[in-house]
Structure 1
Amino acid sequence: MSNTHTHHIVVGVDGSDSSIDALRYAARLGKALKEPLHVVTTWTAPPIDPYLAIEWSPSEFAREALDESIRGAFAGNPPHDLTSEVLLGSAARTLIGLSNSASMLVLGSRGHGGFVGLLLGSVSAACAEHAHCPVLIVHTKKAVDSEPSQSSSGEDLNR
């Protein structure tokens, strides 16, 4: 079995908070492991009225979302070894294909769409099951209630 890994971390982003958190986490990993980041957004052509297609380009929209995700994650100062790419195709299939040459695949647990509240989105679940490299799924921290938690005995659990 040959090793086709090129020692880079692939990060899938879609502009969601979860994917931006995953990008930040991947940057910390990349720095620690001395591996560059390759940030990817995918797009597919939805069925659309031809008259609307004149005004809207899904590939340009994907590029804008990718660029905004990188700006949002790094406040305009991305790692020097970061590369980015917009690819045509389904997110899961494309990321699984890219995992053939990656040392790690990093994803947020939930992207845009799907059913809110599920532990994993369909893309992260498919990648976790079928990727050809280790997969790290980053869960976004949930907002903490403003009132302290108390047990049934009235004991403050936040101390």
Structure 2
Amino acid sequence: MSTPETDVSTNAGSTQARVVVGVDGSPSSIAALRWAACLAPSMNAQIQAITTWQYPTGAGAGIGMGGGVGMEMADAPEAVATTILDQALSAAFAHTPPAGLHRATLQGNPAQVLLDVSTDFDALMLIVGSRGHGGFVGLLIGSTSAYCAEHATCPVLVVHAAPDEGEK
């Protein structure tokens, strides 16, 4: 994907409205990107796609929206996160990303990073998938979306992927 990496800290406070999207490569996060592409133009907003990463500290630590995704990431978690974001953007938009798409991989807890970015940009909306690649699958599934829905200062859209996209 040829979309350049964006440092969200230098763009915070921008006058351009943003829709923030949490991306972990799961089918529901890819669906969230597609929803953002449909909704952002009607709000005269740009899309800020965010993938998070953390250094592995034990079971469940890792990439995306709540934990590990089964990739080798001990040496370069940020590089793995960037690859996940690239692949998700490619899956969502083929090779034609929407105009005004910004992207970033940021270190930290997925829910907190998404809340911080959406607050920093005074986002019009935060969009997350209903189920991601979380740690302790079954226990924490949906924890990031639930936390964001409860604590965000903007409207939150929680997107379910279609059953044929891998969500059951």
The higher radius of gyration belongs to 1
The 1:57/1:28 distance shift into structure 2, 3 A limit, reads same
The 1:54/1:99 distance shift into structure 2, 3 A limit, reads closer
**Alpha-carbon offset, residue 54 of structure 1:** 10
Q: Which moved more, 1:9-18 or 1:97-106?
A: 97-106
CA deviation digits over 1:27-46, x for unaligned, max 9? Answer: 10012222110000000000
**Alpha-carbon offset, residue 128 of structure 1:** 0.1
Which position in structure 2 is the counterpart of 1:34? 44
CA distance in 1, matches of 2:49, 2:29: 10
**Alpha-carbon offset, residue 6 of structure 1:** 5.2
**Are 1:88 and 2:98 an aligned pair?**
no
CA distance in 1, matches of 2:57, 2:118: 29
Runs of 4+ in structure 1 over 6 Å off: none
**Kept in 2: contact 1:12–1:40 (CA 8 A):** yes
RMSD: 2.4
Structure 2 letter corresponding to 1:109: S
Q: Which structure 2 residues correspond to residues 5-84 of structure 1 after superposition, within 5 A? A: 7-47=17-57, 56-84=75-103
CA distance in 1, matches of 2:163, 2:109: 28
Structure 1 letter corresponding to 2:57: P
**Kept in 1: contact 2:55–2:74 (CA 8 A):** no
The 1:122/1:67 distance shift into structure 2, 3 A limit, reads same
Structure 1 letter corresponding to 2:83: E
**TM-score of the superposition, structure 2-length normalised?**
0.73
CA distance in 2, matches of 1:67, 1:54: 16
Percent identity at matched positions? 44
- Structure 2 unaligned segments of length 5 or more: list them: 1-12, 59-71
- Structure 1 unaligned segments of length 5 or more: list them: 144-159
The 1:107/1:54 distance shift into structure 2, 3 A limit, reads closer
